[in-house]
Amino acid sequence: MPLPPVTRSLSAKLLVLTVLFVLLAEVLIYTPSIARYRLTYLEERLAAAHLAALSVEATPDMMVAMELQNELLAHVGAHAVELIRPDSRVYMLSRSMPPTVDAVFDLRATMAPRLAADAFMALAQRRDRVIRVIGPSPKDPAFQVEMVIDERPMIRAMVDFSGRILALSVAISLIAAVLVFVSLTRLLVRPMRRLTEGLVAIRRDPDGTPPFQPSARTDEIGVAERELADMQATIRSALRQRERLAALGTAVAKINHDLRAILSTAALLSERLAKSADPEVRRVTPRLMASIDRAVELCGQTMTYTRDGLLPLARTAVPLRPLVEEAGAVALATLRPDGERAELRWDNQVPEGLTVRADAAQLSRALVNLGRNAAQAGAAAVTVTTQERPGGGLVLRVADDGPGLPPRARENLFQPFAGSARAGGVGLGLAIAREVLRAHGGDLRLVESTAAGTVFALELPPGIVVEDAGRLGEMPTSDSPIPD
Q: Which residue has the higher pLDDT, 104 or 29?
A: 104
Q: Which residue has the higher pLDDT, 47 or 94?
A: 47
The pLDDT assigned to 424 comes to 45
H or E stretch covering 437: helix 428-439
Torsion (CA) 388, 389, 391, 393 in degrees, nearest 10: -80
H or E stretch covering 275: none
Nearby residues of 443 by Cβ (< 8 Å), 6 or more positions away: 434, 437, 459
Residue range 477-481: mean pLDDT, rounded: 37
State pLDDT tens for residues 167-200: 888 888 788 778 877 887 788 778 888 888 888 8
Residue 259 scores a pLDDT above 50? yes
The pLDDT assigned to 26 comes to 76
Q: Is 26:173 a contact under the CB 8 Å cutoff? A: yes
Residue 1: band (very low, low, confident or very high) from pLDDT cuts 50, 70, 90? very low
Residue 130: band (very low, low, confident or very high) from pLDDT cuts 50, 70, 90? very high
Report percent pLDDT > 70 for the chain.
82
- The DSSP bridge partners found for residue 348 are 384
Residue range 21-42: mean pLDDT, rounded: 86
Q: What is the DSSP letter of 189?
A: I
The pLDDT assigned to 392 comes to 76
How far is it, in rounded angstroms, from Cα 281 to Cα 271? 11
**What rounded mean pLDDT belongs to the chain?**
80
State pLDDT tens for residues 331-358: 887 655 555 566 788 999 999 989 999 9
Number of CB atoms found within 10 A of residue 122's CB: 20
Alpha helices (H) along 125-219: 151-184, 190-204
Residue range 274-298: mean pLDDT, rounded: 70
What does each C-alpha distance from 275 to 263, 283, 337, 381 come to in angstroms? 19, 11, 21, 33
State pLDDT tens for residues 394-414: 999 999 998 888 877 777 787
- The DSSP bridge partners found for residue 274 are none
Residue 306: band (very low, low, confident or very high) from pLDDT cuts 50, 70, 90? low
Half-sphere exposure of 298 (CA within 13 A, CB side): 18
State pLDDT tens for residues 49-82: 998 888 777 776 666 777 888 888 888 889 998 8
The pLDDT assigned to 396 comes to 93
Number of CB atoms found within 10 A of residue 365's CB: 19
Residue 201: band (very low, low, confident or very high) from pLDDT cuts 50, 70, 90? confident
